[in-house]
């Protein structure tokens, strides 16, 4: 006899648990795999370093080997890379730190005209053209190379091409290392996540099998299945997409800011202006998204529960022509889920375009101010190329942090229900000091009272069955016949009175020991898969 009531489900009475409390509970499952998590963190930090170096290699390739880097110098300060020709000073700006180069530009001691720097061995290729020869190099304006064919230009810039090849080789090596480390990182993290979710499912199964039938009377099967499937899946996504990656995202953000400030403090400050806008927006919107995720999972659990109950009782529904009512009931639940999903979609659909809009504004600003810097010779083209690449890398972690925040909200909403289930107290306790008498078969009910909810099913029931007696309980549906059998098996505990087996209260017997001595033939056949 089923005593389930849809409105009594704990789903509708979900308790909000503080995030820190959830994290402490999740850490209990992650702690056994701490070494693998540390290895994963090391791999992620290595990947972060490799990824941050790639745009800087682009800058080196552009500034040192593609663009002309020689400048005439009008100052008196001794600088590295300074050379003289015909009483004029020339400087290799590739050997000057960015901050120093900006200082020289602001003092007006560098010529606006730039020069390619060639080895003295290439002098025969530029005869008849205007150039400046020092003891080590030849400085020649890009305009002087006009009229040369491609073969001559390649021969002239052979040194730059070799240098560019070295940069490309190093770039390729970093890309290869990123490939190898990414494989190891993904595999190890997925392994840990699968182990953690495996442990959680195992504990959920043990918990469910230890709960009393009164718990299942109030919680439909579909919702409990959702705990072990959908909710655990949401927590798995937290471990694979958030737990370690969030550290990487913070390292990327601070690493990029450090490099940006080294390249150009003004543009870095300009970029930094946009970050708090996104973070604050994500924080305030995140609360609403958390509630939306919680609501969606509640409605999805209702759908699963109703389908499970309806399909289980499909014979009864069809026998009593209840299809119309079942459809209307499902349509109502399905509409609730639809509206909850639309609310979440509305929030997410607003967030992502907003982040994209802010990042586009930042990119446009960097192109404008960076372009002005190139035109005024206070910023190199390679630095702008690197800066634009860093912009993408800068906002990507912010977008990822937002994604991870949303995943975390979904996972925490799922974790709330999982931990509520794991902490459920509605179970029949084993006796502290169980006894194991020799079972002869005498059963006695002494003034037994019992109810499933507020209505008494058994009221002050007393009887005795001697060993070997055959007794039949006869009565109308709901009179308590099945309840008496359930109480003898101790599937429920009595509210008042006591049940004795051979003079021993069954609450003093270990449940497994008691049930091994009772044979029951159920009226409802059940096929175990």
pLDDT in tens, 378-408: 777 888 888 888 888 888 777 776 667 777 8
**What's the pLDDT tens digit per position in 207-253?**
888 887 778 777 777 778 877 888 888 888 888 888 777 778 888 88
Task: Judge if 184 and 203 occupy the same domain.
Answer: yes
Task: Judge if 75 and 211 occupy the same domain.
Answer: no
Whether residue 177 has pLDDT greater than 60: yes
Cβ-Cβ contacts under 8 Å for 412 (sequence gap 6 or more): 17, 19, 22, 238, 290
Please tell me what DSSP assigns to residue 61. Answer: I
Phi, psi of 462 (to 5 degrees): -140, 135
Q: Quick one: pLDDT at residue 239?
A: 83
Q: Quick one: pLDDT at residue 68?
A: 86
Is residue 468 a part of any domain in this protein?
Answer: yes
Q: Quick one: pLDDT at residue 529?
A: 54
**Across 61-70, 220-229, 359-368, 478-487, least confident range:** 220-229
Task: Judge if 507 and 411 occupy the same domain.
Answer: no
The kind and range of the H/E element at 255 are helix 245-263
Label residues 421-452 b or e (16+ Cβ within 10 Å = b).
bbebeeeeeeeeeeeeeebeebbbbbebebeb
Task: Judge if 311 and 386 occupy the same domain.
Answer: yes
Domain count, the chain: 3
Task: Judge if 54 and 65 occupy the same domain.
Answer: no
Q: How confident is the model at residue 334 (pLDDT cuts 50, 70, 90)?
A: very high
d(CA 93, CA 110): 10
Rounded percentage of the chain residues whose pLDDT exceeds 90: 16
Task: Judge if 283 and 188 occupy the same domain.
Answer: yes
What is the CATH number for 455? 3.40.50.300
Please tell me what DSSP assigns to residue 509. Answer: B
Nearest to 417 by CA among 27, 5, 13: 13
What mean pLDDT do residues 290-299 have?
Answer: 80
Task: Judge if 109 and 142 occupy the same domain.
Answer: yes
**What's the pLDDT tens digit per position in 455-465?**
888 999 999 99
Label residues 477-487 b or e (16+ Cβ within 10 Å = b).
eeebeebbebb
Q: How confident is the model at residue 170 (pLDDT cuts 50, 70, 90)?
A: very high
Q: How confident is the model at residue 9 (pLDDT cuts 50, 70, 90)?
A: very low
**Which domain-ending residue is among 164, 189, 221?**
164
**Which domain-ending residue is among 422, 457, 478?**
422
Task: Judge if 86 and 55 occupy the same domain.
Answer: no
- In terms of residue numbers, what domain contains 112? 61-164
Task: Judge if 45 and 71 occupy the same domain.
Answer: no
Is residue 145 a part of any domain in this protein?
Answer: yes
Is residue 447 a part of any domain in this protein?
Answer: yes
What mean pLDDT do residues 277-290 have?
Answer: 76
Is residue 522 a part of any domain in this protein?
Answer: no
Task: Judge if 21 and 108 occupy the same domain.
Answer: no
Task: Judge if 219 and 309 occupy the same domain.
Answer: yes
Mean pLDDT rounded to a whole number for the chain? 83
Q: What is the dihedral of CA 19, 20, 21, 25, to 10 degrees?
A: 100
Q: How confident is the model at residue 16 (pLDDT cuts 50, 70, 90)?
A: very low
**Which domain-ending residue is among 164, 196, 222?**
164
Rg (CA), the chain: 38
What mean pLDDT do residues 196-212 have?
Answer: 87
Task: Judge if 40 and 126 occupy the same domain.
Answer: no
Is residue 334 a part of any domain in this protein?
Answer: yes
Is residue 435 a part of any domain in this protein?
Answer: no
Beta carbons of 113 and 87 less than 8 angstroms apart: no
Q: Quick one: pLDDT at residue 66?
A: 86
Q: Quick one: pLDDT at residue 524?
A: 66
What mean pLDDT do residues 418-423 have?
Answer: 85
Is residue 427 a part of any domain in this protein?
Answer: no
d(CA 422, CA 206): 9
Is residue 529 a part of any domain in this protein?
Answer: no
Whether residue 103 has pLDDT greater than 60: yes
Q: Quick one: pLDDT at residue 517?
A: 86
């Amino acid at each position: 006899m089923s005593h389930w009531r849809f409105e009594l489900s704990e789903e509708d009475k979900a308790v909000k648990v503080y995030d820190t409390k959830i994290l402490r509970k999740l850490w209990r499952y992650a702690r056994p795999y701490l070494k693998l998590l540390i290895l994963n963190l090391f791999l992620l930090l290595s990947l972060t370093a490799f990824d941050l170096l790639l745009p800087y290699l682009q800058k080196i390739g552009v500034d040192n080997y593609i663009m002309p880097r020689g400048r005439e110098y009008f100052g008196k300060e001794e600088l590295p890379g300074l050379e003289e020709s015909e009483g004029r000073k020339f400087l290799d700006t590739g050997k000057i730190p960015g901050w120093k180069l900006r200082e020289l530009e602001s003092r007006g001691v560098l010529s606006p005209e730039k020069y390619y720097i060639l080895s003295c061995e290439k002098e025969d290729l530029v005869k008849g053209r205007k150039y400046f020869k020092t003891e080590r190099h030849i400085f020649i304006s890009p305009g002087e190379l006009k009229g040369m064919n491609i073969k001559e230009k390649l021969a002239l810039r052979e040194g730059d091409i070799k240098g560019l090849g070295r940069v490309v080789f190093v770039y390729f090596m970093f890309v290869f290392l990123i490939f190898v480390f990414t494989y190891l990182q993904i595999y190890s993290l997925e392994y840990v996540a699968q182990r953690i979710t495996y442990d959680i499912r195992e504990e959920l199964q043990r918990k469910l099998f230890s709960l009393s039938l009164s718990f299942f009377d109030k919680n439909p099967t579909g919702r409990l299945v959702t705990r072990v499937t959908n909710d655990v899946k949401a927590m798995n996504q937290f471990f694979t997409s958030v737990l370690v990656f969030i550290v990487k995202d913070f390292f990327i953000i601070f690493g990029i800011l450090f490099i940006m400030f080294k390249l150009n403090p003004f543009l870095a400050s300009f970029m930094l202006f946009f970050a708090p806008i996104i973070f604050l927006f994500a924080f305030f919107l995140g609360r609403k998204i958390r509630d939306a995720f919680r609501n969606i999972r509640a409605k999805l659990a209702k759908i699963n529960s109703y389908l499970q109950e309806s399909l289980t009782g499909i014979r009864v529904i069809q026998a009593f022509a209840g299809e119309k009512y079942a459809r209307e009931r499902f349509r109502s639940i399905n509409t609730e889920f639809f509206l909850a999903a639309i609310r979440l979609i509305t929030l997410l659909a607003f967030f992502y375009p907003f982040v994209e809009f802010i990042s586009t504004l930042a990119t446009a600003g960097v192109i404008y101010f960076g372009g002005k810097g190139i035109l005024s010779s206070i910023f190199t083209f390679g630095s702008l190329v690197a800066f634009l690449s860093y912009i993408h890398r800068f906002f990507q972690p912010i977008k990822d942090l937002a994604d991870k925040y949303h995943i975390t909200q979904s996972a925490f909403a799922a974790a709330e229900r999982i931990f509520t289930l794991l902490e459920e107290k509605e179970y029949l306790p084993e006796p502290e000091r169980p006894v194991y008498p020799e079972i002869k078969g005498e059963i006695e009910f002494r003034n037994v009272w019992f109810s499933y909810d507020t209505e008494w099913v058994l009221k002050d029931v007393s009887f005795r069955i001697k060993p070997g007696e055959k007794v039949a309980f006869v009565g109308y549906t709901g009179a308590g016949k099945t309840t008496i059998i359930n109480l003898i098996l101790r599937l429920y505990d009595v509210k008042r009175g006591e049940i004795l087996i051979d003079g021993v209260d069954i609450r003093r017997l270990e449940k497994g020991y008691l049930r091994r001595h009772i044979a029951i033939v159920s009226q409802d056949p059940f096929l175990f898969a």
